Structure 1
Amino acid sequence: GAALEAAIHGVPAIAVSYCKREFIDQHADKATITKRDLEFTVEFAKRIVENVLKNGMRPEVDIISVNVPENADPQKLRITNLSYVGYKDIFSEEREGYRIASWKLADYEDANPETDVHVVKEGYISITPIKVQLLHNREALESMIKNIQFE
């Protein structure tokens, strides 16, 4: 969200995500993020930010999306394409709202070995350059709304 909003306004953006293999609310070992993983993710993000501040962002890149798997090895790094695998419904309704009940990386299938989802599943850090292109097609909308009638 925030990185996309920044990019729309012409501000170089970096989105960093930490990715556990699975998160199960009722199992402490599957719901805990280690301090080492958080510190590594922060340090990795810091280096990307410093690089962008020093060198700028290439004009063909609006957002750098970084996905850091748990137990990441800094030597296992890949430049990737964006996967178009949709998000699963991971929330469970509670009396006071919602909670993340369960999430498993294995549930996200992506056969393309060049994508962020695929390489994170393989234990690699993915760095994905994204170009935001807000395109429109008036003709498509005009043909769609001509069938809408008010009585």
Structure 2
Amino acid sequence: MKLLLSNDDGVRAEGLRVLAERLKTEAEKVTVVAPDRDRSGASNSLTLSRPLCPETMENGFHSIDGTPTDCVYMGLSQLFQSEADLVIAGINHGANMGDDVLYSGTVAAATEGRFLGVPSIAVSLAGKKHFDTAAEFVARLLDGYHSLDLPEGSILNINVPDRPYSEIRGIRLTRLGKRHPAGEPEPVLDPRGKQRYWIPAAGGTRDAGPETDFHAVAEGYISITPLHVDLTQEKARDNLANWLVSVSSATELVAD
């Protein structure tokens, strides 16, 4: 397989390095295109207000002064001639579970790969120690990935417990859990006395039931959650259609 790797922790992140080193023994070609610095929380943002500046590092990784989405978009262009069979985003420093996926640059990088027609997975470690465990799991996953048939627009979101591979209890197919809202922005003064605000950490778990990603990882299992990028809320369509009929007279427009 030919692989394109990216992340949101930056091109020098340990998780990315460990993943690339492990997969070079499994793949025909591994191309790494990642942000020049930590872009956690960048979600699916694209840089449209200025041109991007790719640079090649001594280890062969490509650094871009942009977002994870920028990196995958550029990485799948003719610029790097990657011809990827699979996009892998990660290994993220910390889990991406539940509502985290809405903000995650790691998940966004995988989403961009899928949007551009390449199968994609996002991989996160629920900690910052055993990156080799997550890398080993991904390497073994590649053997059977060609036989996986996902609906169009789908990606896999994988979260790995931060423990040795020998202590992983298994794999669980999961759904996204839910978090409580984060707290209020925290005010701080900068050295010049100007008021600034820190965005607080993510809220605690609100839904961590047995089928969720939160529960699986807490129990020592690797969580695999299928995600898709179609945001249409199908369950709301019937009720919304009826409501539109009721308000059509007020708007003087026909609900079709």
Query: What amino acid is aligned across from residue 112 of structure 2 in structure 1?
Result: E
- Whose RCO is larger (CA < 8 A, sep 6+)? 1
Equivalent residue number for residue 30 of structure 1 = none
Equivalent residue number for residue 135 of structure 2 = 42
Q: Give the Cα–Cα distance (whole angstroms) in 1 for the partners of residues 216 and 159 of structure 2.
A: 9
Equivalent residue number for residue 17 of structure 2 = none
Equivalent residue number for residue 127 of structure 1 = 224
Q: Give the Cα–Cα distance (whole angstroms) in 2 for the partners of residues 86 and 12 of structure 1.
A: 31
Equivalent residue number for residue 74 of structure 1 = 168
Contact 1:12 1:57 in 2 (8 A): no
What is the number of residues matched between the two proteins? 126
Equivalent residue number for residue 64 of structure 1 = 156
Equivalent residue number for residue 4 of structure 1 = 111
- Where 2:206 maps in the other structure, the secondary structure is coil
Measure how far apart 1:40 and its partner are.
1.2
- Where 1:129 maps in the other structure, the secondary structure is strand
Equivalent residue number for residue 118 of structure 1 = 215
Q: Give the Cα–Cα distance (whole angstroms) in 2 for the partners of residues 119 and 87 of structure 1.
A: 22
Instruction: With the length of structure 1 as denominator, give the TM-score of the two structures.
Output: 0.59
TM-align CA RMSD: 3.8
Query: Unpaired runs of 5+ in structure 2?
Result: 1-107, 191-197, 242-246, 252-256
Measure how far apart 1:7 and its partner are.
2.1
With over 3 angstroms needed to count, the CA separation of the structure-2 counterparts of 1:102 and 1:41, relative to structure 1, is same
Q: Give the Cα–Cα distance (whole angstroms) in 1 for the partners of residues 207 and 228 of structure 2.
A: 21
With over 3 angstroms needed to count, the CA separation of the structure-2 counterparts of 1:109 and 1:118, relative to structure 1, is farther
- 2:201 corresponds to 1:109: no
Query: What amino acid is aligned across from residue 125 of structure 2 in structure 1?
Result: Y
- Where 1:109 maps in the other structure, the secondary structure is strand
Q: Give the Cα–Cα distance (whole angstroms) in 2 for the partners of residues 115 and 134 of structure 1.
A: 20
Equivalent residue number for residue 16 of structure 1 = 123
Contact 2:110 2:120 in 1 (8 A): yes
Q: Give the Cα–Cα distance (whole angstroms) in 2 for the partners of residues 64 and 16 of structure 1.
A: 8
Instruction: With the length of structure 2 as denominator, give the TM-score of the two structures.
Output: 0.38
Q: Give the Cα–Cα distance (whole angstroms) in 2 for the partners of residues 15 and 58 of structure 1.
A: 15
